[in-house]
Amino acid sequence: MPSNADLVHSLEDAIARVFVGKKREVRFMLAGFISGLHVLIEDVPGVGKTTLARVMAASAGVDFARIQFTPDLLPGDITGMTVWDNDQRTFVFKQGAIMHQFILADEINRASPRTQSSLLEAMQEGSVTVEGITHRLPQPFFVIATQNPVTFVGVFHLPEGELDRFGISFSLGYPTDQAEKEILDRFQSADPFADLAPVTGPEEITALRAAVRQVRVDDSIKSYVIALAARTRDNPLLKLGASPRCSQHVLLAAQAYALADGREFVIPEDVRAMLPVVVPHRLVLSAEARIDNLDAATVLQRVVASVPVPTGVR
């Protein structure tokens, strides 16, 4: 029977049959998937955000749906709504597009804030409430959202409360020349998706999520995460620091990273590896930081450098 780490590596191998390069970012995305932390990818169009989401869902063997966010999309289109049924002579619940295990919320910041907020309950509670009735979402539930850079025309900023519900956020960036050549070769004569078969199923993903939470976390690691969060909250370069939810997400992401490496315990390197994709999108810079042309990632680097790393963790 394959180990948990073997299952993660099988997913990575399956994804690599279609998606070229970006192994570090693929590992980040898998860390979110196997831990249940939703992922936000911000990047320019055409760099593979949608392809990565599609191939991950197909490799995992879970039910996939893509929701294209546009200015005219309504919350009911996502959560569902009650409609009149002439045969039953009553109102019945019509499921929305969210009722799937793996959701790609494509170009999420092109929809209005009202529509964006329809994802909040789904991402936090794994349910949607319509007309006072709560409907559970199929499990394992996972959201990958893509957004265009905020400098693009026709986008709405995601509010801080929604950003905080995305456990992991990163950008893919452009491929190297060699990787782009491989992309052209791979897609020239056939569609790699046609030969892609799932290597896991919903049951295995659910078991992986349970295993992630069993990865041991020493108290010194918890104290390290708390100290890092505290340094962001009293930092003059930050108007808004890391929330307690952020601290929880850092630990959970570190547990997933350790499991993927085949370890049963978290080490400081796991925390430090996941900090750049778990924390910066939640931070709000102060006026002083903006004047100095600093970004959240740079401020976080300074915070990390100022906190002693625990040693002797087992």
- The CATH number given to whatever domain includes residue 38 is 3.40.50.300
Q: Is the dihedral of CA 85, 91, 97, 102 positive or negative?
A: negative
> Which is more confidently placed, 44 or 273?
273
The distance from CA 12 to its chain's CA centroid, rounded to whole angstroms, is 16
pLDDT of 286 above 80:
yes
Q: Is residue 192 part of a domain?
A: no
The model's pLDDT over 202-233, given as tens digits with 9 standing for 90+, comes to: 999 999 999 999 999 999 999 999 999 999 99
pLDDT of residue 168: 95
Per-chain mean pLDDT for the chain:
88
Residue 288's CB: how many other CB atoms inside 10 A? Answer: 12
Structure tokens at 224: 């390290």
Binned at pLDDT 50, 70 and 90, residue 153 comes out as: low
In a domain? residue 259: yes
Same-domain status, 54 and 173: yes
Query: How far, in Å, CA of 42 to CA of 292, rounded?
Result: 24
248, 229 Cβ separation under 8 angstroms:
no
Residue 220 lies in a domain: yes
Give me the number of domains the chain comprises.
2
Domain shared by 142 and 225, yes or no: no
pLDDT value, residue 104: 94
Does one domain contain both 148 and 235? no
Token look-up 């409430």 returns: 129
Domain ranges, residue 64: 4-187
* Mean pLDDT calculated for residue range 26-34: 93
Q: Say how far apart CA 142 and CA 126 lie, in whole Å.
A: 9
Digit-coded pLDDT (tens) for 166-203: 999 998 888 888 888 888 888 887 777 777 888 889 99
What number of other Cβ atoms are within 10 A of residue 293's Cβ?
A: 7
The domain that holds 253 is classified in CATH as 1.10.8.80
Cis before 140 (ω within 30): yes
Segment 62-74 shows an average pLDDT of: 91
* pLDDT of res. 112: 87
pLDDT in tens, 89-144: 777 778 888 999 999 999 988 888 888 888 888 888 889 888 888 889 999 999 99
DSSP notation for 2-67: --HHHHHHHHHHHHHTTS-S-HHHHHHHHHHHHHT--EEEE--TTSSHHHHHHHHHHHHT--EEEE
Same domain, 141 and 220: no
Structural domain includes residue 283: yes
pTM for the whole structure = 0.89
